[in-house]
Amino acid sequence: MTSFFLTIVAIACLIAAAVWGRSASYRFDHMRRVEREVITEEDSEATVRRKQDAMKISRTNFLKETHAAVLYFFLAVSSATVGITDNLNWATLYLLVVVPALVSALWWGRESLKNAILLRERFAIEVKAEETLSQAESAPKAWAERLSPEKLEKLTGFETGRVYQPGSGLMAGDFYDIYQVSPTRTAAVLGDVSGHGVESAITAFLAKFLLRILLRAYRDPAQALQELNNQMYLTDRPEEFISMVVLMFDTEAETFRYASAGHPTVWLWHEQEAYPLRRTGPLVMLEKDVSYYSKEIPLHPDDTVVLYSDGLTEARRETSPDEMRGGELFGEDRVAQFIRNDPTMHPQQLCELLRDEAQKFARGSIDDDLSIFAIRWTAEMDAEEKD
C-alpha cells in the first residue's frame, strides 16, 4: 500500500515538475528579451529605474519557477525510488529535498518578498498615473460640458438648438447659455474667448457665470456687458479678449433687447426676412471703461435668432493645396441665405444642417472651435400663465 501511494505521489510530482519547467522556459525567454532592452544615455532616471526593476523581476521569476521545477523533480525521484524498492532505507533520498528547500527559505524567499514589495509599489504608481491621465483626458470634456452643454434648459415658449464642435485645441473658449432671469424675462448668451487651452477655458468659465449674476442685476444687456468688461479687465490678461452677444427676451412686453461685444453678426428671422444684428460695442477685455449700447426689437411668434462663433463664418475653402491662409470664407451671407431657404425647420435641425454646410464648404476641415445656437420664440404659455 505504501509503495502504491508513493508511486502516485511520484507521478504527481513529476507532472508538477514538468508544468513548472515549461513555465520556467517561458520565463527564461522573457528574461532574455528584457535583458536585451539596452539602457541608453537618453533614458530618463525614471526610465532607467523602470528597466532595472523589470530585469530584476524577470530574473527572479525565472529562478523561482526553475527552483519549483527542481524541487518537484527531486520529490518525484525520491518517491519513485522508495516506492519501487519498498525499502525505507532509501528514504534518505528525501534529504535531497533539503537543499532546494533551504535555498528557498534562505534566499528565494527573501528575493521573492522584495519583488512582491516592488510590484506592489509599482502597481500603486501605475494606478496613480492612470488616474492622473484619466483626469487629464476627462478635463476638456468636463470643461466643454460646463461651457457648451449638450442639453439646454427647457423653457416654456422657446425652442432651442445647439451645435458645438471643438477645434484642434484640447480645450476651447466657446460658450453659450440660456436661462430664465424672471418669470417673463429669458437671457441667452454666446461668447468666444480668443486662443485655446486651459487659460482660455478658465476665462470663458468666469465670463459665463459672472454674466449670469450681472444679468439678474441689470435689465439692459448693454449694462451687464459694461460691468462684465470692467470686472474681466481687472484680471490683467492683455493677450485675451472675448467676443460676445447677449439677448434678453421679454415675453410679457413681446420684445427683446440685444447687445453685441465685437461678435460676428447675429441673424434674426423676423417678418419673413433675415435681418442682421451687428455689434454694439468693442470686445470684452480689450479696453477699459468702454461703453456698450443695446437695441430693442419687437418680438413676433416664430421669430428665430441664430448666433454663432467665428468658426462658422471663417470656415475656409482653400483654392490650392499650397494656400495656407488664402481661399474663400463661408461668410455671413451664406448663413443668412441658409436661414431664408427654410426658416420653419426646428432650431436643432437648423444648427446641424448649417454646420454640415460649413463642413462641406471647407471640405471637412474646420480647425477653429465652432458653436451655433438658435432660439425660436413660439409664444406658447403654461396653463397657469394662460389662466
Tens of pLDDT, residue by residue over 309-318, are 998 998 888 7
pLDDT at 384: 45
What residue has cell string 456687458? Answer: 225
Write out pLDDT tens, residues 148-169: 676 777 888 999 999 988 766 5
Give me the residues of the chain with pLDDT under 50, please.
105, 382-387
> Which class is domain 148-386?
alpha beta
* pTM (predicted TM-score): 0.64
pLDDT computed for residue 120 by the predictor: 62
Distance CA 253, CA 385 (A): 14
At residue 147, the pLDDT reads: 67
Q: Which three cell numbers stand for residue 172?
A: 476651447
> Which SS3 state, helix, strand or coil, does residue 35 take?
helix
DSSP structure class, residue 175: E
DSSP state of 110: H
pLDDT of 56 reads 73
* Angle between the N-to-C axes of helices 109-147 and 198-217, in degrees from 0 to 180, rounded to the nearest 10: 40
Q: What is the pLDDT of residue 341?
A: 92
Closest CA relative to residue 280, chosen from 295, 266, 296: 295
Quickly count helices (H) and strands (E) in the chain.
10, 12
Q: Name the segment(s) of the chain with CATH classification 3.60.40.10.
A: 148-386
Q: What is the pLDDT of residue 383?
A: 40
